[in-house]
Amino acid sequence: MKAFNKIMIPVTASALLLGACGSDATDSKENTLISSKAGDVKVEDVMKKIGKDQIASKSFSIALDKILADKYKDKVDTKDIDKDIKKEEKQYGGKEQFESVLKQQGMSMDEYKDQKRLSAYQKELLNDKIKVSDKEIKDNTKKASHILIKVKSKDSDKEGLSDKKAKQKAEEIQKEVSKDPSKFGEIAKKESMDKSSAKKDGSLGYVTKGQMMESFDKALFKLKEGEVSKVVKTDYGYHIIKADKETDFNSEKSNLKSKILEQKIQKDPKLLTDAYKEILDEYKVDYKDRDIKKAVDDTILDPDKIKQQEQQSSQGGASMQQGAPGMTGS
């Protein structure tokens, strides 16, 4: 779950230091790691160099991993994780290429597997602690297809049409598909300038409320199954949208629930921090170092800080879809 990966603070710090911080002392800053004639290296020195927030993040992540593994080991099948990774390797052209991409991101395959496993455990925790009803999923998701006629942002663009011509073409297509919606997929494959979805008869799969640009979102969620929208304009161009039949809703329900959970947590990070606090209390977590405890409380378990991180990561421009494929035209 992508958003969850964003919310979870990255795991980066020294295992050696963690050993010192895990002592029985209430304040481990004076603990000596290395002694020499030139002077001692204490935990406090290393904390200043590395940063207490990163040390706290590593400590918390290790503790949480152990807790979640104990709580949900029977609900997470590691074979499924291995299958997912095999699929990803295939998408990147093989194991060697995939490992190369991970290496560029400073991650080994084992670390990536651990991250996937922790993500699966987190998913189980959130499913336990945050309730999402079938009605809520139904009300906030739609299965959709679209046809996009792109508008050139500048005359030198190779793809797209002028605004006037794009609108005219979209209106002609809209009339055609409205007469016979069963031909939507055929026409999308031929006419849509969103190449990734055009290959799939224009299908975008299931879309959650708030995932698309506002004008697209409003038009889609007004449609009943099988209906086709009027021409809708976004920053990408002109769209004709179709609400598809949701015959596979039950099989997709688990994935849709995860998407709804992501959105709920992005809107209200306190749902996540409360879930963490509840399971930490259940497992009687005791911080042996006051600096680690303060850093965890002030960052990982502070919903306002998580909200700030989310806002910072989301800056950098609007996109047609926030995290979903199908609108890139690639």
Mean pLDDT in residue range 131-150:
96
Return the closest-CA partner of residue 141 out of 210, 226, 194: 210
Lowest average pLDDT, out of 50-54, 59-63, 128-132, 268-272, goes to: 50-54
Where in the chain are the domains?
2-132+252-314, 142-246
Q: How many CB atoms lie under 10 A from the CB of residue 21?
A: 26
Residue 314: the pLDDT is 65
Would you state the pLDDT for residue 28?
52
Q: Which residues contact 59 (CB under 8 A, 6 or more apart)?
A: 13, 18, 21, 22, 292, 296
- Pairing mode, strands 41-42 and 141-150: unpaired
Tell me which CATH code domain 142-246 carries: 3.10.50.40
Is the pLDDT at 42 greater than 50? The verdict is: yes
As a whole number of angstroms, the distance between CA 233 and CA 89 comes to: 37
> Residue 328, SS3?
coil
Whole-number Å distance between alpha carbons of 258 and 20: 38
Q: Round to whole Å and give the CA distance between 118 and 139.
A: 30
Distance separating alpha carbons of residues 128 and 61, to the nearest angstrom: 19
pLDDT at 38: 86
* pLDDT beyond 90 at 192: yes
Bridge partners (DSSP) listed for residue 149? 238
pLDDT, one tens digit per residue, over 240-294 is 999 999 999 999 998 999 999 988 998 999 999 999 999 999 999 998 888 889 9
Distances (CA, A) of 85 to 6, 57, 102, 169: 20, 25, 12, 42
261 in Cβ contact with 269 (< 8 Å): no
pLDDT > 70? residue 39:
yes
At residue 20 the predicted structure's pLDDT band, cuts being 50, 70 and 90, is very low
